[in-house]
Amino acid sequence: MSYEMVQTLPEVDDVATQAVRRLDIKDFIDTNLDALYEKLKEADRGAPDDDVRFAASSEQMMRTIIYFMSGRKDALDAMAWVGEQWKGKTRDPNPMTILSMLALQYLEEEGMKHSDSDQIETWRRFRARLAAGTEKDADVAQNDFFASLASSA
Partner 1 sequence: MSRKIGVFSPSDEWRGRAFVTVPLRELAGDEAASVKRVAMWRGGDRIPAQIDRIDPEFPDFNVVSMVLHNIRPGGAGLGLETVQLSPVLESDDSQPGDEDQPVREATPESLTVKAKGLGVYVEHDKRAEMWSNRMRLHIHLPKEPTEYQGGAITSIQLDDGEMLDPIRAEIGPRDHDPEKRLQVDRVRIANPPWYETPWTEYLVYKEAWTCVHAGAGPVRAFVNLRSSPFTVAHDGVSFVCHLHRVISVFHDVDHIIDDLYVTGRPAGKENDSPVQLSFAAHYFLKMNFSVFPEITRVPQIPDWFSIGAGVNPYPGYGFASSVPCGRIDNPPMDYPNIRSEHSAFSWELGFARTVQCLHMFKRKTPAGVVADETGRAWFDLIFKRARANIT
Range list of H helices, the chain? 3-8, 12-23, 26-31, 33-46, 51-69, 72-86, 95-113, 117-135, 140-152
- Binders in 28-47 for partner 1, by CB under 8 A: 31-32, 35-36
Report the residue from 6, 12, 63, 110 that binds partner 1 according to the rule CB under 8 A: 63
Report the residue from 52, 56, 69, 112 that binds partner 1 according to the rule CB under 8 A: 69
Q: How many residues bind partner 1 (CB under 8 A)?
A: 19
Report the residue from 14, 46, 48, 64 that binds partner 1 according to the rule CB under 8 A: 64
Residue 20 CA to residue 56 CA, distance in Å, equals: 19
75: phi then psi, degrees, rounded to nearest 5: -65, -45
Identify which of residues 75 and 149 has a Cβ nearer to partner 1 in the complex: 75
Report the residue from 8, 42, 50, 60 that binds partner 1 according to the rule CB under 8 A: 60
Q: What is the SS3 string spanning 112-129?
A: HHCCCHHHHHHHHHHHHH
Provide the binding-site residues for partner 1, judged by CB under 8 A: 24, 31-32, 35-36, 60, 63-65, 67-76
